A = this chain, B = another copy of it.
Amino acid sequence: MEGASHKWKRQPGKRPDQIIQAALKVFGNKGFQSATMDEIAEEAGITKGTIYLYFPSKEELFVSMLRAQFQQALDLLPKIAFDPAEDPETATKRVGKEFLDVLMTPEVTNAIPLVIAEFNHLPALKDMYHAQLLPQANLQLAGLLSLGMELGLLRKLEPVIAARCLFGMFFIFVMTQEVFRAKEITQMSTDDIVDTIVSIYFHGIVEKGSSQ
């Protein structure tokens, strides 16, 4: 089984990418069920049959597209690095801004409802979340917080929960402003959002008596 049982066929050349880009656009606009293979093919400038040369089914195309999106987003994370010389709150704000700018990209905000809508119907999505996103994002930050607590810099809190709280504050703005289009009503800059989030979070978790 090892390394041999990819569900999707080989994907030579540029075609697959071309198709995946079209799929992202069409799935993003219509949703998984309402999007048709014809629309995707037309968007990609090819014909329906051709898609099946590269993806065995609509569902596989959908998952492949999300996997690609997901990977692309994860690839950005390593670039987001802390500079040890910076003051932690300032550094977090800088990093947070970069992070939020990525999350608020149309590619991401279009993909979010798709993931949420199909999460319970497509096992591959659950796998991606449970195997990658949860450990890599949530648990990694939780470890960092644990360290700070042991050093007496941070207040004693449940680290996994505390880590997820931070993500929640970012996520809610992606959802409300972008996905739910609240930005048409409650305008706010990403700078203001991140400044407020980080300010609340830092004041919320640091140990008052600490040098902070």
Q: Is A200 an interface residue (CB 8 A)?
A: yes
A199 engages B117 (CB within 8 Å): no
Q: Copies of this chain, how many?
A: 4
Q: Is A52 an interface residue (CB 8 A)?
A: no
A173 engages B182 (CB within 8 Å): no
Looking across the interface, which residue of chain B has its beta carbon closest to that of A193? B161
Q: Point out the residue from B113, B173, B192 that lies within 8 Å of A117, measured CB to CB.
A: B113
Chain B residues, Cβ within 8 Å of A161: 173, 188, 192-193, 196-197
B203 engages A117 (CB within 8 Å): no
Q: Point out the residue from B129, B134, B162, B186 that lies within 8 Å of A200, measured CB to CB.
A: B162
Chain B residues, Cβ within 8 Å of A160: 186, 188
B168 engages A171 (CB within 8 Å): yes
Q: Is A155 an interface residue (CB 8 A)?
A: yes
Q: Is A67 an interface residue (CB 8 A)?
A: no
Looking across the interface, which residue of chain B has its beta carbon closest to that of A135? B185
Q: Point out the residue from B164, B179, B193 that lies within 8 Å of A116, measured CB to CB.
A: B179
Q: Point out the residue from B114, B168, B172, B200 that lies within 8 Å of A205, measured CB to CB.
A: B200
- 22 A/B residue pairs, CB under 8 Å, sorted by A: A30-B121, A31-B117, A31-B121, A32-B33, A113-B116, A116-B116, A117-B117, A119-B180, A126-B180, A130-B181, A134-B182, A155-B199, A158-B192, A160-B186, A161-B196, A164-B172, A168-B170, A171-B175, A200-B200, A201-B204, A203-B205, A204-B205
The 7 A-B residue pairs whose C-beta atoms are closest, nearest first, are A168-B172, A204-B204, A117-B117, A33-B33, A200-B204, A161-B196, A168-B168
